[in-house]
Amino acid sequence: DIQMTQSPSTLSASVGDRVTITCRASQSISRWLAWYQQKPGKAPKLLIYEASSLESGVPSRFSGSGSGTEFTLTISRLQPDDFATYYCQQYNTYSTFGQGTKVEIK
């Protein structure tokens, strides 16, 4: 099984900050990685697929990078609507989600 490890588990930030979340795979997944945003009581929302492709309608302040085993999600200037939990997902072989990163208000 491919394991996905996100860091940090919790991140405290302020509006306007640049935020980076890391996701590491236990083996190479090439670029088959997605990022989701989830707010309490809501379904996840796809932000990024294929490591760096922005899903339609997602603001350009969100960006993804990486390949192989290490990936990052960056929010260039944090907005009030961005406080949420973020998950990575590999879909190279079956599918595995990371444990999540909660972005909270500092």
Partner 1 sequence: QVQLQESGPGLVKPSGTLSLTCTVSGDSISSSHYYWGWMRQPPGKALEWIGSIYHTGVKYQNPSLTSPVSISVDTSKNQFSLDLFSVTAADTAVYYCARGGRTHYDFQAFDYWGRGAQVTVSS
Report in angstroms how near the CB of residue 15 gets to partner 1 at its nearest: 26
| Binding test (CB under 8 A) with partner 1, winner from 20, 52, 76, 99 | 99
| Cβ neighbours, 10 Å, residue 101 | 22
Spell out a b/e string for 26-50, using b for 16 or more CB atoms within 10 Å of the CB, else e.
Answer: eeebebbbbbbbeeeeeebeebbbe
Choice from 5, 10, 93, 105 touching partner 1 (CB under 8 A)? 93
Pair of tokens at residue 49: 């697929």
Residue from 14, 43, 80, 81 touching partner 1 (CB under 8 A): that is 43
Name residue 89's amino acid: Q
The answer to the question of residue 17 lying near partner 1 (CB under 8 A) is: no
Task: Compute the distance between CA of residue 11 and CA of residue 61 in angstroms, rounded to an integer.
Answer: 18
Residues 45 to 64 in contact with partner 1, rule: CB under 8 A: 45-46, 49-50, 53, 55
Q: Is 40 in the site for partner 1 (CB under 8 A)?
A: no
> Cα(16)–Cα(14) distance, rounded to whole angstroms?
6
Q: Is 83 in the site for partner 1 (CB under 8 A)?
A: no
> Could you list the residues that contact partner 1 (CB under 8 A)?
1, 32, 34, 36, 38, 42-46, 49-50, 53, 55, 87, 89, 91-100
